[in-house]
Amino acid sequence: MPTRSRSQAGFSLVELMVAMVVTLVVSGAIFGLMSSGQTAFRRTPEITEMQQAVRVAMDVMQRDIATAGVGMGAFFQAFGDNLNGVGPAGPDAVNTDHLEIFGNTGECPDVQTKAGPCPGPDCAYSGGNLNMAVSIPTCYSNDSFVLVGYGDAGAKMGLAHRIHGGTGEKVNFPPGLCNDANFCDINSVANLQCYEPNNTNPPTKIQDCPPEKRPNRMTTVQILRYEIALDDEGIPSLWRSPLGGRSTNDAAYVPAGPGNPDIWQLLARGIEDLQVQYRATGPAGGPLPGWADTPGAVAEPNYATLTRDVRVSLVARTVNERGAATATGPAALRARLTSVSSPRAALNYMGLADPPQWQ
């Protein structure tokens, strides 16, 4: 019978199955590498954008915090109080904070009040008016927030009315014009005419107020506010308002969101949590060991009540070009950035303070 040489023999079934298994294993490994590479390639821009967004947002907030309280007097709280946990819930089911900063842009000069004897036509204060010694520049708008400074570095903020109205250079602070405790501590005759620590026991007559506690200047106030709110695509974002969340100074507060572009500016998309804490000063200007959720009141003449440090934490999540498709739920990648900033004005006042003023 004819015989077949060994070189003409085919694969056995076992050899074929082994080859197929090896091929499948190698193909699966290659496919897995390609899939993970494509996923990483697709998510890298999202991660980069998330990191860039949180860095830019923190940089802007740090610059605003550094200018808090500039030109506004030592004993003035440059941060809004009672704003802890008033926003929507963040990723840890903890309500987000708001941040409110009072400052002076320096674009408008201070205006000096009259310095004559009180009572009299040259008194700094008469009736419901602040009497100015010079013409008020046009950069002061009617019905705007201003700060009134006093001779002993004290200051109060209020909503001034009819700055350029009527005869003479008078600024009116009518009672009831401003009912927002976070903004106004003037807007009444008793609170305007004489500076007393925490508005306690003010004199009822201007002549009973010592000259060093009478108003001596007026300056403009800028109110910055930060909040977390959804954008027009439903993405949590960080918003900034240079108007304190108001369309005009005498208007009601409007929450952040895309429906008010003249009031709120979208600073960074994908920021879903904002937490702010404050640290007061310790003896001789050093920091206290703990952090507080609210800045509290500044008590004159105690420099230890000044806000020395502000700690801000932002949590950002990935957002792709299609909106929230890959940025929702536990699968979203998140980044947290925390920074501590110090208001330059407070540090300057603390450097000038005498030791007896630390209580």
Nearest in space to 155 (alpha carbons), one of 72, 211, 221? 72
Confidence of residue 241 (pLDDT cuts 50, 70, 90): very high
Q: How far apart are CA 285 and CA 152, in angstroms?
A: 20
Confidence of residue 214 (pLDDT cuts 50, 70, 90): confident
The reply to whether omega before 301 is within 30° of 0 (cis) is: yes
- Higher-pLDDT residue of 287 and 113 is 113
Query: Which residue reads 């550094």 in tokens?
Result: 66
Confidence of residue 144 (pLDDT cuts 50, 70, 90): confident
Q: How far apart are CA 198 and CA 76, in angstroms?
A: 10
What is the model's pLDDT at position 271? 94
- Higher-pLDDT residue of 356 and 50 is 50
Question: How many CB atoms are closer than 10 A to CB 36?
Answer: 10
pTM for this structure? 0.80
Do residues 185 and 199 lie in contact, with contact meaning Cβ atoms separated by under 8 Å?
yes
Confidence of residue 331 (pLDDT cuts 50, 70, 90): low
Q: What is the pLDDT of residues 34-62, one digit of tens each?
A: 666 555 555 567 777 888 889 999 999 99
Alpha helices in the chain (DSSP H): 13-66, 189-193, 344-352
Nearest in space to 57 (alpha carbons), one of 208, 217, 268? 268
CA-only gyration radius of the chain, Å: 31
Residue 28 has pLDDT above 90, yes or no: no
